Chain A
């Protein structure tokens, strides 16, 4: 059985429901209303040790409503889209808004700023993804897992392999006159092999690893065998992991973890963190906050990319923004509300969930590649830690203090030597960004937030006592 897929008619239907709800809210006494409707379907097929472990298949629909009564606001959500239920919801939301205090900054955007039809076409939907059925997905997962187990005898167990897809459609309407929608697809395969590590016979351990492929387009997925082999290679490489000694040393970030560092930049370079005084970067726009090698761009307009979108959560057209330009902090990403709080315009960066107010968010947030190859970067590193996994939430946006668990490989004389685990890496984030002294050219847009391999000249590694 395969899902019917998401058609342009579905998008139109969602837009109609959103526009209807806006009208109903106005009838219920709202001065302004914004309605987001989402329709999604998922298929998840997981295989473990060659046998199906889970097939999950379902669709869902939800509507989120935000109303303004004067400058007072409230938000509600429901999955019940019947007209009578929507009328009741609108009345309740207006009543709720009357309990809030007025907030002039929350008024709807100037209608002149809203995105106008036709919306930019970003090619975000692949009908071939919708064609996939559970049996085919299970076969792909099985192939990936089998390749991992076959690749190396030391792969003794498996956390399974999962093929999944999401199809979604969005309709958004506002009392300012915006009505628009789009559809998207996304599919992925993850393979998670497991090894038994008896390097220390008194303390045997399991070692897990993973590799993955993902795209909006079915044909752009890496083949399942290749994903499985890479997963096996990465997992086996961690056998015999041990702590490194506590010291200051160079830290090289693999793209798999580099993207989380780029995400951390956004958490302190957005308008909301600025007006809430919850960023160490406040007051530093236009100043050097990172090494000259660092340029980070947020670009929602890349065709087929995972984070692309034709309009933002306020209904404004999206645009490319340079967050960090050769080390200099650009204007931070803002939605309409955060922009007003800071006395400026939106950067078209509003995100909006079903049950809440809009806020700044990223689209495709990308650290731009450098010119040297990853190999050159490693070879020019006399010693340090090559980090492949980060753990924990050790970042304080207010102060920039950064301390997280890490796993990876020790670099000695420009070569990866033994695998390392159970260590932390720490420094103030301001220093981390300024100490980036090499950026490789190996950027791949595999996820909405992405980075090439890069190196921080030194951080504190805490591990074994010397």
Chain B
């Protein structure tokens, strides 16, 4: 097949020199205009990226108007510390638990303890007899098996239940910097218009708030936006990455080695190759459905952990980390296979011939000649594929990632939430504070992806130097 000839010009006579000169200027102007049009389109793409990053950062920092039900300085002073030198966060674990005991109703306290207990050896809100009874019942709460809470967890509870800060209004970063007075006026106008009927104007104070901050990363999820964090989501995403890698990398690289090094061009092997290309184009939400039908439903005894324990399963259904991890693994598999295939194909044939000529078997050649050379390419492709899986949301929604979980995942068979799910959930709430949280969580997710990409680049550079 050859390139089809372009249509012949219909013009019958050539232009005269004058006509030609006149056209030339027009043609050149058109050419310049086209060049700038292309550049402008490319600039739009850059602007889109810049605007996206701007939106996220703009919503992650800024002024907020807060009303505290209990002033943290006063709480610290009541504990006998000097509020000027000691922050609420600095007081001991026992004192924080004491604050909760003093301020929280016994019903709420019991519920908190059932979620996760405060001490390994003693109970704070429950009495021992009831505790033993509910723990030996058919459906024991998570507090019976989970490890006790730690300092940051209890501090978050104290913030949420004792101090009870309420962000009544928030302002994005750039207007906060350029025109902070406008925000004060807006809050004052809000009070006058009766938008905050529960509070007096004197109670509210305006302060800077970085929604993306170290505490945000280390505190668990909460329904109060002021104290909500993404610790559980980060841990959930980390577990997912581990399971995805454990499943997709060995299988994916294995399949790639088979297709590049072993497979003869039979019909079956051609079919496998076409099939993998097709799978790479299947929308992620369909993998989610597959995961829901197979891992969550059919394999429930495995994914809920029931077959590994005699008594009560770790989870009451299959909507667990391992089900989601395997789903993401299936989703990543075709991409890992294709990128590993490319890395293997790039290895020169002379290495294969040399190995085989020396009497090595095919596997010996692959293991000691080909894989070491292809490794940088394989690693880079794999990490990029995994990075894509970390950001996937739709399959996680399908396999039932819970949106509200305050306890850390305890293992592959526990319920979980993940960073993209948090962002999705917070974005779908109407209040501005939750959008601030979603923006801050987006920063965390993008940083995680950036780290994975940086690791890919570093590994590639390191191994490619060694292979030379």
Verify that A and B bind, or say they do not: no
**Chain A contact residues, CB within 8 Å of chain B:** none
**Chain B contact residues, CB within 8 Å of chain A:** none
